Amino acid sequence: MTQLWVGLGNPEPAMAANRHNIGFMALDTIATRHGFSPWRRRFKGAFAEGTVAGDKILALKPLTYMNSSGESVQEAAAFYKLPPDSITAFHDELDLAPGKMRVKQGGGAAGHNGLRSMDKMLGSQDYWRVRLGIGHPGSKDRVLGYVLGNFDKDDKPWLIALLDALADAAGLLAQGKRPDFMTNVALHTQDLR
């Protein structure tokens, strides 16, 4: 089954190391590890193709800025005639501790503008989400600066471990073994938080 894996982030080179761009980072690591095709411009985004555990994976990084991510995702999903449940979005999650990861299907956007845009453009919330914990800055008025800020030097060990674990376990995600995927990533990152 063909799947569309979407990394959420912002396209500006100066924003590449932002916490908000962990979705881009995750997809880049998976694409590199699994030998995907080179990234090219398509569907208002950067697009690559590959195979993970025998399944065809279409990788998409919307270049529309976070608030309009759904435009890119909807275009790719429509072109390949993919239902929402074959789409997985990788995104930053304020409500999870740094380095923690959860997978869920559906649910609200919880203030995440990339997810809100996807919900609107897909007309559905039934796609999968890989929620990548970045922690919360403590107060609501600090959220914007926090997510648009770069990861700190102290974050690098858990961030690299998380991205590597995601790429290593991606086959389980591709096969629909999401609980095993979560367990595998947790085991490989437990000592680094």
Condensed to tens digits (0 to 9), the pLDDT of residues 21-45 reads 999 999 999 999 999 999 999 999 9
Q: Tell me the per-residue pLDDT of 61-88, one tens digit each, with 9 for 90 and over.
A: 999 999 999 999 999 999 999 999 999 9
Q: Where are the beta strands (DSSP E) in the chain?
A: 3-7, 40-42, 45-52, 55-62, 87-93, 101-105, 128-133
Counted domains in the chain: 1
Catalytic annotation present for 188? no
Phi/psi of residue 35, each to 5°? Answer: 65, 45
Q: Of 20, 34, 91, 112, which residue is the catalytic one?
A: 20
**Contact yes or no for 40/46 (Cβ under 8 A):** yes
Strand, coil or helix: 79: helix
Q: What end-to-end distance do the CA atoms of the chain give, in Å? A: 35
Domain of 162, in residue numbers: 3-192
Residue 193 reports pLDDT greater than 60: no
Task: Give me the CATH number covering residue 9.
Answer: 3.40.50.1470
* Angle of CA points 44, 48, 51, to nearest 5°: 145
Q: Tell me the per-residue pLDDT of 91-147, one tens digit each, with 9 for 90 and over.
A: 999 999 999 999 999 988 888 999 999 999 999 999 999 999 999 999 989 999 999
What's the pTM? Answer: 0.96
Q: Which long-range contacts (CB under 8 A, 24 or more apart) does 79-82 make?
A: 79/43, 80/2, 80/4, 82/2, 82/3, 82/4
Of 74 and 188, the structure prediction assigns the larger pLDDT to 74
